[in-house]
Structure 1
Amino acid sequence: MSDPDLKIASVTTTIIDVPLIRPHKFATTTAEAQPILLVAVTTEGGVTGYGEGVVPGGPWWGGESVETMQQIVDRYIGPYIIGRGVDEISGVMVDIERIVANARFAKAAVDVAMHDAWGRALGVPVASLLGGAFRTGVDVRWALGAAPLEEIVEEVTHKREQRLNYSFKLKMGALDPVVDTERVVKIVEAFGGEVGFSIDVNARWDRFTALRHVPQLVDGGVELIEQPTPADQLDVLAEINRRVAAPVMADESVQTPHDAYEVAKLGAADVVALKTTKCGGLQRSKQVVAVAKAAGLRCHGATSIEGPIGTAASIHFACAEPGIDYGTELFGPQLFAVELLQKPLDYSEGQVHLPEGPGLGVELDMDVVKKYARS
C-alpha cells in the first residue's frame, strides 16, 4: 500500500508551442516550433511531478500528436490513475495497457511525471529510482538541418569550437536520393575525416534506393546508417546491414521489447535507437534495453526533440542504464529558442550532464511556460 501522501490527487495537461532556433528538417516535414504536452501529476502530499508528451515533428512519425495525447491523458489515463500511488508505477503502467492501446508517447508523459513526483516526494533523483547513476554525463550528437554546405560547415565548426558537440547527424529522405547522397558526401568530405557523421533517412527509402545509395554513403565516410527503410520491412533492413561495413541503427522499427527481439533475430541492425518517448516511458524503456542487450545489440539514447523535462528524464535513464552504450542525441533543448527552465541543462565538453536534485532535478520557469501555452 502506498503512503497516503503519495497518492495521485490530480493530473492536468497544458500544450505549449516552443519556437526553434532554426527550422528542423525531417524527411516529410519541417518544424519551426516544437509542440509539447506538459503533464503535471500532483500528489495528496502536495508534490507535483512533470512529464512531456512529445513527438518528432508531428503525427507523421507514429500517429500521435500533442492534441491526441492530451485527449488520451485528460479523458482516459488521468481519471483512471487518480488515487493510485506515484510509487506504483509498474502496476499503473500495466493497468493503463488495459484501457488504452498503443499511445506510447502519451503514456511516456504520465510515466515520467510519476517518476518525477515520486523522486521529489522521497528527496531522491529519478536515476536512483532506476537503480542509481553510474555516470554523470553522456555524449551528445547534434542533428543538422538541410542547409547549404557553407552553413552546415559553419554550424559544425561553431559547435566544435564551443565544445558543445563533437559528432553530428544529417537528416535525409526529403530530397531526390541522388542529390541527397551527393550533398551528404560533400559535407563529410569537407571535414576530411576529422568529424563523425551519421545519417537518418526516417524510413523513407525503398529497397532499391537504399541498396543503391547506402553503400555510397558508407564509402563517402558516413559512420552510422539510421533507419533507411520502412519500419516493418526488417528483411530489407537486414539485407542492407549485411551489405555495408558501417553499423545500421533501427529507430522506427523498435518501439517495444518484441520489436527489439525481432530486429536481433533477423540481424536487421547493430544498434537500437532508444527513445523513452516511443517506448512508453522509463519502465518500458528498461525492458527494451534488456532485450537488446541480451541479444548483443548496442543502444543509443535517441530523442523525439523533447523539451528539458523529457530530456532530463532521458538523461537520468541513460546515466542509470549501462545498456545505453552507443552515445546519445539528447540535444532537444539546444534546438529551442527560449529557455523553459529556471536553470538550464548543462551542455559542455560534448556531453549533457545529469541534473542534481530530487526528481528530475529541474525546475520549470512557469512564466515562460505560460507565455507559450495555447489558450
Structure 2
Amino acid sequence: MKSRSPFFRCRDFGRIESDLMADLTINRVESRILDVPLIRPHGFATTTSTVQHILLVSVHLDNGVTGYGEGVVPGGPWWGGESVETMKALVDGYLAPVLVGREVSELAGIMADLERVVARGRYAKAAVDVAMHDAWARALNVSVRDLLGGTVRTELDCTWALGVLPLEVAVEEIEERIATWGNRSFKLKMGAGEPAEDTRRVAELAREVGDRVSLRIDINARWDRLTALRYLPELADAGIELFEQPTPADDLETLREITRRTNVSVMADESVWTPAEALAVVKSQAADVIALKTTKHGGLLESKKIAAIAEAGGLACHGATSLEGPIGTAASLQFAASTKAVSYGTELFGPQLLKDTYVVQDIEYRDGLVIVPQGPGLGVELDMDKINFYTRN
C-alpha cells in the first residue's frame, strides 16, 4: 500500500485542524451567584467573612462545549470595588452581548472589545476571560496552560493565610496545617487593630513558631508612612520575612522607602491592578515582589502582561488569591504553571477555606504544595448538584 505524500498529510492535517476548530461560536453566556460557607471566619483589615460569594460564569459553544470562570472579590466590595451582584449585572447586561455570536478563538479581540463597553470591571471581565479560555481549551482537548504557552511547572509552594486570629488560635491552626498538609509558610493579616497591639500579637506568634515556619504579613494598605516606619522594623526583628502592601496603593514613594530601609522583602498588591501600574512599581523600585491575582487584573491575558513587565524589571511574582473557589483557583494554577515569572510561590489555598467543594475531584494539596490540575481546560469538572445547592435563589 502506497504511503501518502507529504502533500496529502499536510492536507489531512488542515482538515483535522478545521474539524477541531468547527463550531467554536459562542451561543450563550450564563451567570449565577454561589454562596459557599467557610470553614472558619476569615478576618481582613476592615471586615470578616464567613461565606464566600462567587459569581460562576459559563460560556457555551455551538459544539456543546461549556467553559467556566469565577468572579470573586476577597471579602467583598471594600477591597476591589466590585461585588458578585455588580459583576452579575455587568456580565449579563453588557459583557455577554459582546461574546454571543463570535468564535471563542477570537478571545483576545473580544477582551479588547469589552474594554470599550465597560471601564475597569476587572473581576467581572476575569470571569469571562477564564470561561472563554476553559471553553476554547476544552474544544481543542488541551489544557488552559497550553493556550498560555505551555508548562513551566506542575506544582507550586502554597502559603496558608490565617486572617486576623488570637494568638492561641493562630498557633493551633499553624500546628494543624503543618501536621496535616505540610505547610511551611503562613501569612498573617494586620491592619484591623491598633498598630502597637497588632505588632505585639504578630511578634508573639513569631516567637512561638517562627523557628519552624516562614511568616509574612499583609496590612492591606492600612498604615500610613509614620506607622509603617515605626512598627515594620519591630516586625523585621521578630523574623517576619515579607511585608505585603503596608501603605496606601498610590503612595509608591513610601513603599520604595520601606523597601530600601528594611531588610525584608516588600510585596505590592493593591498598588498593581494594571500593566501600567506594574511598570510604575518597576520604574520606581517600590517593591521586590508583585502579587499577581488573575481576578484583580481582569483575567489571564492581562495577567500575562503584568508578569512579563515584572520579569523584565527583575521583580518576582507571587500567585496571590482572591479566595476563589476551585474554578478560579484552577485558572490561577494554570496561569502560574505556564508563567516562569511566578517564582515566589503562591497562596492559592481558596478551596481549602471553603466548607464544601463543588467540583468532582478536589484540587490536590500535599507537603506544602498545590498541584496543577491535569486534563483539558482548567482540569476540573463541576458537580452540578452542589452548584445547584449553593446557587442563590
* TM-score of the alignment, normalized to the shorter chain, above 0.5: yes
Measured on the aligned residues, the alpha-carbon RMSD in Å equals 1.1
Please name the residue that 2:389 is paired with: 371
2:330 corresponds to 1:307: no
Gapped regions of structure 2 (runs ≥ 5): 1-17
Q: Within 5 A, what are the aligned runs for 1:26-37? A: 26-37=44-55
Q: Map 1:1-375; keep pairs closer than 5 Å.
A: 3-375=21-393
Among all aligned residue pairs of Structure 1 and Structure 2, give the percentage whose two residues are the same amino acid.
59
* Contact 2:21–2:140 (8 Å) recurs in 1: no
How far apart in 2 are the matches of 1:88 and 1:205?
Answer: 43
**TM-score (normalised: structure 1):** 0.98
CA distance in 2 between partners of 1:12 and 1:145 (Å): 33
Structure 2 letter corresponding to 1:326: Y
* 1:42 alignment partner, SS class: strand
After the TM superposition, which segments of 4 or more aligned residues of structure 1 sit over 3 Å from their partners? Answer: 1-4
Shift of residue 219, structure 1, vs aligned partner = 1.0
* Local SS of the residue matching 2:215: strand
DSSP 3-state at the match of 2:287: coil
The answer to whether the 8 A contact 1:138-1:327 is kept is yes
Whether the 8 Å contact between 1:3 and 1:85 is mirrored in structure 2 is: no
| Partner Cα separation in structure 2 for residue 340 and residue 294 of structure 1 | 38
- 1:324 is aligned with what amino acid? V
**Following the alignment from structure 1 to structure 2, what is the Cα–Cα distance between the partners of residues 173 and 34?**
21
Larger mean Cα displacement after TM superposition, 239-248 or 158-167? 158-167
Q: Distance in 1 between matches of 2:23 and 2:367?
A: 41
Matches of 2:196 and 2:105, distance apart in 1: 52
For 2:51, what is the secondary structure of its paired residue?
Answer: strand
Residues 21-58 of structure 1, C-alpha deviations (whole Å, 9 max, x = no match): 00000000000000000000000111100000000000
Q: What's the CA shift for 1:239?
A: 1.1
Q: Indicate if the aligned counterparts of 2:98 and 2:110 stay in contact, CA closer than 8 A.
A: no
Instruction: Give 1:158 deviation, angstroms.
Output: 1.0
The 3 A distance-change label for structure 1 pair 178 and 364 is same
Q: Give CA deviations for 1:98-132 in whole Å, capped at 9, x if unaligned.
A: 11110011000000000000111111111111111
The Cα of 1:275 is off from its aligned counterpart by 0.4
Q: Could you tell me how far apart the structure 2 residues matched to 1:127 and 1:81 are?
A: 22
Amino acid at match of 1:280: G
- Tell me the distance in 2 between the aligned counterparts of 1:43 and 1:50: 12
Contact 2:184 2:212 in 1 (8 A): no
- Offset at residue 232 of structure 1 (A): 0.7
Q: Do the aligned residues in 1 keep the contact of 2:272 with 2:290 (CA within 8 Å)?
A: yes
Distance 1:128 1:192 in 2: 39
Q: Secondary structure at the match of 1:292?
A: helix
SS in 1 for 2:206: helix
Q: Displacement, 1:153?
A: 1.1
Matched AA of 1:352? V
TM-superposed CA distance for 1:303, in Å, is: 0.3
The one-letter code sitting in structure 2 at the alignment partner of 1:257 is P
**Residue 137 of structure 2 contacts residue 376 of structure 2 at CA under 8 Å; is this kept in 1?**
yes
**2:228 alignment partner AA:** A
CA distance in 2, matches of 1:372, 1:221: 41
Listed one character per residue, the Cα deviations across residues 44-93 of structure 1 (whole Å, up to 9, x for unaligned) are 11110000000000000121110000000000000111011111111111
How many Å separate the matches in 1 of 2:22 and 2:376?
Answer: 20
Maintained 8 Å contact 2:144/2:376: yes
After TM superposition, give the deviation of residue 269 of structure 1 in Å. Answer: 0.5
Q: How many residues matched? A: 375
- TM-score normalised over the length of structure 2: 0.94
Shift of residue 3, structure 1, vs aligned partner: 4.1
CA contact (8 A) 2:278 2:310 kept: yes
